Amino acid sequence: MARHNRRPLPRSLWILGAISLFADLAGEMTYPLLPLFVTGVLGASPVALGLIEGFAEAIVSVMRGLTGYYSDATGHRVRWVRRGYAITFIGKIFVMAATHWSFVLCGRTLDRIGKGVRGAPRDALIAESVAFQDRGRAFGFHRGVDSLGGVGGALIAAGILAWMIGSRAVTPQDAPQFRVLFAIAAFSSSIAFFMTWLIPNTPSIQVEQRKNDFAKSTGIPFGKSFWVAMSAMVLFMLGNSSDTFLLLRALDLGESPVKCVLLYALFNATYTAASYPMGLLSDRYGRWPVLATGWAIYALSYAGFAMLGRDTAWIFWGLFGLYGVSVACTEGTARAMIVDYAPKERVASALGLFGFFQGAAVLIASVVAGILWSYGLPSISFWMGSGFAVAALAILPWVPGRVTPPPVDPVLQGSERLTSDS
């Protein structure tokens, strides 16, 4: 591949990254605590946990599909992003006030609705902000900054847990401590929402152009290459249950609540460190080699989670680190690939469609994992995850080849194209 003279990332991409940092700081303060809160404080079963996470992901998938379509159809991007962060903030308040697992379900549902509303339009903004040759780099940068918030959130959660609870098991009497953490998370989420007003306005003529381009492209199919790529990635996701089950696995094998959250911080740290380099590699050598590497590492890490026992629990540190690298290989690269194969007039629609199938797959995987857990078979859920990753690797010979980059528009490449909606 010919070398590409890379330009600095646009300012608005940094703004989107900062917004995601605060949002993920809030999300990852809450997320690793949910297994402890739902099962330890509220006394619910792993099935309830699987239902909460699975239903939340299903909501994300539906909303991604809808808002991706409407973002293209209306020509607007940032107004959807802004609404999404507002809804997520409201969801954080519901979780903070929960006295029964059904309230957590409502809060997580609102949280995930917000994520679904903002996801595809935001990713479309990222894709439109840079030249084709920098697309993987842009997505890798955004995922890296996003997960950096996850590191901070998990470390804050671990510190407060260590101070308030220590190494003992969580009990219903610990509810006030959890509410303090959830209140801090809600505050961070509010910062993310207010920062969405920092993105500059888009001229109305550009919004109208998006609408017109979308209307003219509605009869154009996504194409065989798009659907083959989509099928391979969704097959992999069918084994990718909610990450809360990784934390539950650590708890079941005797790890303390604080150590579980630190393990999750390690996962986010390796995810952060590897995301940008993996994005660069996908631009240089192609999306599929990076995705395949991620799937292979995922298969190894999940097989490790399946085989762990109480006498080998120290291996958790290496497995969580490996898992973070696998996610760095797949998250940003998958989004960049979907944009590569999608018609440029329907980028948000394609990303929304990908989010829909991705969420549906995670719902299936999470519900199955919860059921297996309730029957005392947690290892089987991890073997299934590893098996689906291997199956996705097995169909690589049939996936489409590298996308040919379009001619670079020197005007667009030299300008900061990522702007907001008026």
pLDDT 10s digits, 119-169: 888 888 888 888 878 888 888 888 888 888 878 887 887 787 777 766 666
| Residue 118 pLDDT exceeds 50 | yes
- pLDDT for 6 equals 66
Quick check: is 196 in a domain?
A: yes
Q: How confident is the model at residue 321 (pLDDT cuts 50, 70, 90)?
A: very high
Quick check: is 422 in a domain?
A: no
Determine the Cα–Cα distance for residues 55 and 4; give it in Å rounded to an integer.
43
- pLDDT for 325 equals 94
Question: CATH no. for residue 31?
Answer: 1.20.1250.20
The identity of residue 13, as a single letter, is: L
376: enclosing H helix or E strand:
none
Q: How far is CA 132 from the centre of its chain?
A: 22
Tell me the mean pLDDT in the region 188-213: 81
Please state, as a whole number, how many other Cβ atoms lie within 10 Å of the Cβ of residue 386: 19
Q: DSSP letter at 5?
A: -
Tell me the mean pLDDT in the region 283-295: 90
- pLDDT for 292 equals 92
Lowest average pLDDT, out of 46-50, 258-262, 314-318, 364-368, goes to 46-50
Quick check: is 2 in a domain?
A: no
Give percent of the chain with pLDDT exceeding 70: 87
Tell me the mean pLDDT in the region 243-272: 83
Q: How confident is the model at residue 388 (pLDDT cuts 50, 70, 90)?
A: very high
Quick check: is 3 in a domain?
A: no
Determine the Cα–Cα distance for residues 42 and 48; give it in Å rounded to an integer.
11
| Residue 10 pLDDT exceeds 60 | yes
Domain boundaries, position 219:
11-398
| Domain count of the fold of the chain | 1
Determine the Cα–Cα distance for residues 76 and 85; give it in Å rounded to an integer.
16
Tell me the mean pLDDT in the region 314-330: 90
Q: How far is CA 102 from the centre of its chain?
A: 24
Quick check: is 420 in a domain?
A: no
* Torsion sign (Cα): 232, 235, 236, 237: positive
User: Of 380, 304, 294, whose CA–CA distance to 333 is shortest?
Assistant: 294
CA atoms within 13 A on the CB side of 321: 5
Q: State the average pLDDT for the chain.
A: 81
pTM: 0.75
The identity of residue 32, as a single letter, is: P
Tell me the mean pLDDT in the region 233-251: 86
